[in-house]
Amino acid sequence: MSGFSSSEFLDFSYSSTNDILHKGIFTTSNGEDFPYFIVEKNGRNFFVTPICLSGPSVFDEEKDFALLQDKLKDYNLSGGFIQTRQSIEETEELGETASANFFKDYRTNFRLHFGDDNFVLDNMHKSAKRYSKKILAEQEKYTLKLIDSQDLKSIELFANMYSNTAERLEFSDSYKFNLDLWIQLLSSKKSKLYLLYYEDQLISGTVVNPVPLGYDYTFVTHDTSFKNSGRANAIFLLKHLYSIDPSGFLDLGGGVTEGDSLSRFKKEMGCSSQLFKRLRFIFPDQYKETQDYNCLKGYWPQ
């Protein structure tokens, strides 16, 4: 079960989103739960998935659009935007079902498959492998700690480090959170906080959520004064999760934009690229004046 389907994550992500009329957990035709908001834009109501890659691992356009329209008929939905975790081939295309018209494209996610140290190193690019070998050569100096949800001091350390990162990198308001919100999120039995120390120095923190067959690297922050803190964080978190479930994976998400420096860093770490399906859609019975479905290529239908 996905950590994104918890009420704690729904409330956490709700805090930074405007114009929300309703929030809830939707169940797909295959029985998978995922969070959603209904927001008002341009005088219409739209169904959207929240921040992060929080959508379902499978979304069946024929079945699930009809189910969505029926279950939420009281909101007179005009359409929406769904970010799934469903892998597809590279595509940008218009489509339609009996109930909806949609534009399908993708967002790149980078995935690290679990394995022992040699497996992980073998998949890295040359420069990343060199730095990673140095990290593993002194791994006894690193300590990865799983933080209890009642350990408010450790959560505050993470929250402060994350806030500094958010300000330095100019995160959007949707990705800025105060201490109370972090405490709320981590009260979930699904969302886990890990802190990585080098000797006595805190160098990174990560919030991890379970997803079907693996884990999601949902929120991360580093001490930029410590060289290769991000690389060390990924290595030791991967080693820990591998010890729990050797067959799994860790999804690192994408870049801020396709092909940026963050994307390149993740590729160098040996990640495989997964193209996750995205759907912008309208319900024609609520959009009768719209004949040109190219409007679906914008973030919001016009």
Residue 295's alpha-carbon distances to 43, 101, 276, 290, 302, in angstroms, are 16, 11, 21, 9, 6
Contact criterion met (CB below 8 Å) for 252 and 109: yes
Which pLDDT score, from 0 to 100, does residue 300 have?
56
In which band, very low, low, confident or very high, does the pLDDT at 148 lie, cut at 50, 70 and 90?
A: very high
- pTM (2 decimals)? 0.90
Closest CA to 208 of 271, 272, 258, 144: 144
Which pLDDT score, from 0 to 100, does residue 204 have?
96
pLDDT in tens, 85-128: 999 999 999 899 999 999 999 999 999 888 887 877 887 888 78
With both helix axes pointing from N to C terminus, report the angle between 229-244 and 126-137 in degrees, rounded to the nearest 10.
70
Contact criterion met (CB below 8 Å) for 105 and 91: yes
Rounded to whole angstroms, how far apart are CA atoms 281 and 80? 5
Name residues whose C-beta falls within 8 Å of residue 210's C-beta, 6 or more positions apart in sequence: 1, 2, 3, 190, 216
pLDDT in tens, 177-225: 999 999 999 999 999 999 999 999 999 999 999 999 999 999 999 998 9
Contact criterion met (CB below 8 Å) for 111 and 249: yes
In which band, very low, low, confident or very high, does the pLDDT at 19 lie, cut at 50, 70 and 90?
A: confident
Per-residue pLDDT averaged across 278-289, rounded?
Answer: 80
- Reading phi first (left if > 0) and then psi (alpha if -120 to 50, else beta), residue 79 is in left
Name residues whose C-beta falls within 8 Å of residue 259's C-beta, 6 or more positions apart in sequence: none
Max mean pLDDT range (167-176, 192-201, 284-293): 192-201
